[in-house]
Amino acid sequence: MTVMLAIGVPAASAAPKAKPIAASKPVPPKILPAFEFMAHKIGDPKPSQPEAEVKSIGDIPLMTMYWQYDDTGFTGVSLYFYPSGVPAMRTTLTAKYGTPISKIVEYTNGYGAKFSDVEDEWHFREGTLTLQGVFGGRDMSAVTFDNPSATARKDAKAAAKARDAANAL
């Protein structure tokens, strides 16, 4: 007489052995570049003489341009131009700063008409440069640099001034 024994094999030993996954190196955060515009860097001192008026960026005529400074030095720039210059401005800024992050923004005018436009952003350590095809109406476009640190300093200064005025009452 033949007796057969069933021998149980633990499931863990029967399963194929998985190769251990090599520990992946953490991905370092992307280091943003410092902002620079026409040889001006954030924190550069304000020139003692008025800056020469900039009438164009390449072939793009400007309506106006503002250099922004506070007690710490250069904080940003704003420039305004005709909407016909948006494609050339986008090309110019992309050539200097790389591919922007683009988003579609929607606007409603005072008459209730809705329209949309592309807004481009370039990010830097000190803030964000934004190209707006529509700025303050359909007849003006803008490039502005938003510097959160400078805005916070300006807001703190205004709050302190308001507190001082309130304390004087």
Count of domains for the chain: 1
Residue 28, in any domain of the structure: no
Six token digits for residue 168: 């004087």
H or E segment and range at residue 150: helix 148-167
| Residue located via tokens 């952003």 | 121
Q: Give the pLDDT confidence score for residue 167 in this predicted structure.
A: 87
Residue 40, in any domain of the structure: yes
Range of the domain at 56: 35-167
Across 94-98, 149-153, 164-168, the highest mean pLDDT is recorded for 94-98
Six token digits for residue 47: 């020139």
Q: Give the pLDDT confidence score for residue 108 in this predicted structure.
A: 82
Residue 81, in any domain of the structure: yes
Residue 67, in any domain of the structure: yes
pLDDT tens digits, one per residue of 121-140: 999 999 999 999 988 777 89
29 compared with 11, residue with greater pLDDT: 29
Residue 26 has pLDDT above 70, yes or no: no
Residue 25, in any domain of the structure: no
Torsional class of 72: left (φ above 0), alpha (ψ -120 to 50), beta (otherwise): alpha
Residue 56, in any domain of the structure: yes
Residue 113, in any domain of the structure: yes
Residue 6, in any domain of the structure: no
